[in-house]
Structure 1
Amino acid sequence: MKQIRRFTLISTMVFGLVTSQLAYNPGDVKAEEDTLGLKAEAAMIIDAKSGKILFEKNADKVLGIASMSKMMTEYMVLEAIDKGKINWDQKVKINNYVHKLSKAPNLSNVGLTEGEDYTVKELYEAMAVHSGNAATVALAELLGGSEKNYVTLMTKKAKELGLKNFKFVNSSGLNNKDLMGNYPAGSANEENIMTAHDMGLLAFHILKKYPEVLETAKIPKLKFRDGKEYPNFNWMLPGLIHGYPGVDGLKTGSTDFAGYAHTGTVERDGQRYITIVMKSTSKDERFGDTKKLMDYAFATFDTEKVLSAGYQPRDKKSLPVVKGKEDAVEIETKDAIELVTEQDEKGNYQPQVVLDKKKLNKDGELTAPIEKGEKVGYVTVKPKEGEEYGFITSEGNNSIKVDLVAAESVEKANWFVLSMRAVGGFFGDVWNGAASTVKGWF
């Protein structure tokens, strides 16, 4: 089994002369050797369904995220549409700053004309497909009133989603020095930062809540209203330079500070993985490392049934019952437990039974009546040997919990039976007491 690794997080990071302090509770700390030979400084593999972490390298190291920052705006636009705050056909008028930024040399952009109206959908596609920086700022101004206000909203949303170690200074992921003096937060030379763990968490949330994000992310070329075609920088999309079967997202990013980064996602035969690569030294390297991660995921892991439905605990197949027509009730799991695990590790999991103490009296008994299917606890699994990375969210453990229920109904005994039991119990106690007394005479 792979060992869980949560080692020291850099709590202070320097951007030139700027220090950013980040709070972190490291939890369990175990070292993980990079057995895949990755060149990227940080990397992860996550099961997109459960959030189970399958591989990590320096996942808690704070690094630049560049245009992967735009995934937060993708999330917030989709959320605003979902809540009816904005709509895809809503018009956004381009101001002078956004226009000038869209014309800035050496930046990824779709040209936007000052004073012209563009729909939210047009700007979103320019951002998601071609990583348009000016389009991102236009959306940020729509959602926040100003990019400065929007950065505050980004930070608030990141905390709501459970991200711990990050800092946003703008919406686009550019270095503030490239924003023509209009940077909304931080200093003139700062960039957005995050850990691979938090980037994976953001990707997990957006795929879980807004899977429609992939409908845009998988577009290889964007046909814009100016008649031009703008390429998607995710060259792992099928048909592109580093095409990989099943890849349909999510986002690339690169700056001098961040290096080359990639948040990828791939699906085959119903199994979807999320991959994170941060601080590669070239475009080819980031995609090469992502390919290694995806190859490793499909070659090594599979969804296995590690506990069958109807499982009965070996040492406790039934629970005692009081005030019932029967004095015990059999218990079993309601559902099976399926888990993405290494293909040769299916037998390494053992069940753990947790009874609901609120259902039991002080003697550990259930009280009739009991309905068939009534929950009396839950069963989870843990590895017999070694430890695992855990899950990207605290709720992930729920994916390996199933209800432990009564396998049959137990009716409450009628008053006469209960009375006879009470009388029998009374005389039984009297007899036992008398027998003990007589025995003491000899």
Structure 2
Amino acid sequence: MTILASSDPSAGATWPGRVLVVAALVASGLLIVGPALRRRSPAAWWLLLGYPASAFHVARTWRALMAGCGLAVSRRPALTVVSGLVGNGASPPQPRVPRHGFIRPTGAGFELVARLLPGQLPDDFVKAASAMAEDWQVHAVRVTSLRPGVVRIAALYADPLAAPRVPRTRGPVRLLRVVVGTLGTGAPWVIDLRRIPHWLIVGATRSGKSTLIHALVAGLAPQPVALVGIDCKGGMELSLYSARLSALAIDRAQAERLLSALVDLTLARMTVCRTAGVRNIWGLAEKERPVPVVVIVDEIAELFLVAGRHEKDEAHAAGTALIRLAQLGAALGVFLVVAGQRVGSDLGPGVTALRAQFAGRVCHRVADPGTAGMTLGDLNSHALKAAQAITPEQAGTAVLASGDGWERGRSHLVTEADAEAVATAHAHLTPALPELSAALA
């Protein structure tokens, strides 16, 4: 059998050329349709075009950027380098720079981890975040400590809070878990009362505080939970949800009686759990488990401000009951969401003691720095600075913090009409709690 060899020496080299031509055509096509793709599908545009270009740029300029930010370390003392230059005419040795890992794409940008050099601190990278964002031409860069000696650098190519989208709900909704907005990372903003049972929400007028509460109630209304309202401004805010509320107190006297009844309800549940030999209501059989109760308190200052002896006694009793609920309620199915325009120590020592019980904090734009400090100051100084930087034009934007860290977020736009419609549509799910209704009779 005779094997014929090709006489054309370029035949074996045609396939790399074809691959390059095809790659060039694909790249040209992507560049042409890029603007339209970015408008219609930002996520696809980012993965196909934005991310590869950004990753290449970061890898190419990393050493120069680290040197420019003061994060590079010379390999030799300065005199040795100068001596070498004068004596031998050699180029100075390249400085050491922090090593970085794989540049991983995310839904809203990219992130990488970097290992600190000896003597460096995470705050050194935090201070360089603005320079990184400028060099990489992204919206923002955030640096967090991942573990000792390692930082995570997350970059956002655009502001996810500019126009947050309501995500599609997939699968069954978890009890007491509500997606209320979008985080600054592009991830859903989730309030999960099973994980963080009590929340403090503050914000000035038209800052987005009420919108967040609307979103939370709209997410809880379809769930098998009891909603209880305390609105000492005559019920002007929470009466929107009256069709879905098991009880609503509209002044301080009613609030004091309702909170006392809630404490009694909690103690009764404690007895049930102790008899059954379980540590919380979630250890009870489903048929025996009492309904979870979410207590929403609007304008906490109205509950604590006093103008006379009689009001002082009511405020003290209401504050004490609220603190007891915060201490005991999580394991017994009673959860607190307390909101207000202003929260400060001038409202009384009860406010400070109550604040300590709230693991979840949300701070919108506030009218005074003391409220922001009371809300976030004991959790994270960086979160406090971020909250104080919120402008009036950023309605709905807030800083949320807990023991897990802090994030910027923006709640979905849920209007008063939307919240009222959702509450009315699910009025049939309102559980009867006679012990609470009797307190308001």
The interval holding the TM-score normalised by the smaller chain is under 0.3
Normalised by the size of structure 1, how large is the TM-score? 0.24
Normalised by the size of structure 2, how large is the TM-score? 0.24
